[in-house]
Every structure is written in structure tokens, then in C-alpha cells.
Chain A
């Protein structure tokens, strides 16, 4: 580990986020292993995933986003921050409506989950070709909720495979672009620089070369 790097983090009291960042995504990866987008999913498994997701959702995404801002030196305008908060509120509504549907089988809850999850993830996928990496934590949350909603829908309710594939590809492409942006910015911030100077030294190419002389 580069000692200096962590000294910098500790100085700005951000060292505690190292563990947070490294743990993020456990449930998001797990979710993908238990649901199917093209077959009927096991309702109990989705309920279990929702329970696990609760912990991820309670983590402070704002803090991780702020760390990404600091380390990649990007500026996110207030309008976009507010829009993200609104989008994540939609995703959380979808999350609770999904849970209600799975527990009660109420179709209005499923429809609300469908609409709100689309609205939530839509903010992130519509950020354009170079989305700010600040939004990665939010996209993980909104994307995962969207996947859970799709997986929980009965096949008769679910969109066709082509539509679902297009949605997942768009979400994946947005995440890919954000990850690439983080990597590029972090790599650009780190440099190796030569430290040198010029000095006047005694020349060896003289009739009586002095001690410590240097040949041109």
C-alpha cells in the first residue's frame, strides 16, 4: 500500500470510507445470482434479497459519492444532486412497493414498483455519454432495485425479452462509463516525476583537472 496515499486520506478524515467502498456491492452481486430476468423467479429468494439490500440502502451513499468527487476532482452541479435524490426516492418507493407486492400479491403495488423503478434508474441512464462517476453508488442502488422488480414480475406482466435486454444493456453501459471515468481520472492524477537540477561543476577536460571533476 502506498503509505503517502493513506496519510492523505487520514488527514482529510476519509480513511474510514476505504472499508465502506470496498464492501459496497456485496448484495448487488448476490442478487444477480438468485434471480432470472427471463424465467419465473423464486419469490422467497427475492424477499431474502430485499432483506439483504436493506443494509446496503441504509449506507451513506452521499459520503461515497463525495469521496469519488474528491478523488476524481469533478464538479457535480446542485441541480443534478437534487435530481439524483429525487430519483433515489423513486427507487426506494419501488423497493417498498415491491416488498408489499411480494407479501400481499397486490397488483397496484407491482405497477407502482414497475413505474417508480423505471423512473429511478432512468435518471442515471439519461445522464449522457460521459456520466459523472459521482453517481455510481446511486446507479448501483437504482439498477439493483430495477432488476429485482423485473425478476419479481410474473411472466405475463413482464416486458418482452428484447425490451428487458435493452434496459439492462443501457444500465450496464452507464455503469461501465462511470467506472472507466473513475479509472481514467485516478490514473491521470498519479504521475512519476523526475527531480533534477543543473549545477556548475569542475571540468575534467583541463590541463590540471580538479578533484571531483566531471567529464562533459
Chain B
């Protein structure tokens, strides 16, 4: 083996080492990113009706894709969670929810929100205030 051949082998080894190192770094970075992104994103979208289904949002690295997983919908009051409606009960972590599951969970959350508003208004006496207002206005017609 002459010097030229030895140098070529050395350069190839270094290149392979470099590629492996890059791959390891990329994988580590991707794992870190997944860990960060893995946290729940609550109300991240101004319109919760968008991006309802699990979908790929670009390749992470070879053999893997980044998927948006919709866990469900929450009815909140002043940012405090009152009720949660799951959209993917019994599914594997990467198994996407069906549109039916998502629609049902959202519908339940909207229904809870409507009921929550009505309950709160009733607690504050708003229906009675409305009655008084109607009665006062009716006085003008007497």
C-alpha cells in the first residue's frame, strides 16, 4: 500500500466518521425537537377548526414524519380548563384520529361552552334582569 492509497483510505474514514457524526447529531437534534414539540399546544391556532386531523407537516429525518396529533378539545373559562373532550381515546400514539372523532369532541366542547355561558348568566341573574327590563318597557305602553 503506497502513501497515496493510505491517504485515500484515511480521507474516506474521516468522511464516513463525519457523516455518522452528522447523522447522530441530526438524530439527537430531532429527538430534542420532538421532546419540545411533544408538549401540548393548547389553542395554538386562532381557529380551532383548522388542522383538525392528524397530518404530516414535513419530514423530520429518514423514515419518520412529523404528525399533528389532535388530543381533543377543552371548554375553558378565563383560560382555566373546565372540561376536556377526547378525540382519540384508545388509539396508539401515532394512529390519527378520524374526522368523526374530532368532530364529535369539538361538538361536545362547543355544547359545554354554550351551556356554561347559559349557566353563568343564570347564576348572575341575567334572565331576571331581562324580565325586569321588559316589564319597565311595557310600562310605557300602559
Which residues of chain B are near A28, meaning CB under 8 Å? 132, 135
Residue contact A32 to B126, C-beta cutoff 8 Å: no
Complexed CA–CA distance, A68 and B66 (Å): 46
Q: Contact at A2–B135, with CB atoms within 8 Å?
A: no
Contacting pair A196 B123 (CB below 8 A) = no
Is there contact, CB below 8 Å, between B112 and A191? no
Residues from chain B with a CB closer than 8 A to the CB of A136 are 125, 129
| A-B pair number, CB within 8 angstroms | 242
From 73 to 122 in chain B, residues with beta carbon under 8 angstroms from any chain A beta carbon are 73-78, 80-84, 92-96, 106, 109-110, 112-113, 115-117, 119-122
**Nearest residue, chain B, Cβ from A169:** B140
| Nearest-CB residue, chain B, relative to A168 | B140
Q: Identify whether the interface residues of B are mostly helix, strand, loop, or mixed.
A: mixed
- Taking beta carbons and an 8 Å cutoff, which residues of B are in contact with A? 30-31, 34, 37-45, 48, 51-52, 54-57, 59-60, 63-78, 80-84, 92-96, 106, 109-110, 112-113, 115-117, 119-133, 135-140, 142
Interface contacts beyond A2-B115, A4-B75, A186-B124: sample of 9 additional A-B pairs, CB < 8 Å, sorted by A: A2-B112, A24-B125, A64-B124, A140-B129, A176-B133, A193-B74, A194-B45, A203-B64, A216-B56
Q: Which residues of A are in contact with B by a Cβ distance under 8 Å?
A: 1-6, 8-9, 17-18, 20-26, 28-29, 31-33, 35-39, 64, 67-68, 71, 73, 136, 140, 143-144, 147, 165, 168-169, 171-172, 175-176, 178-179, 182-183, 186-187, 189-203, 206, 210, 212-216
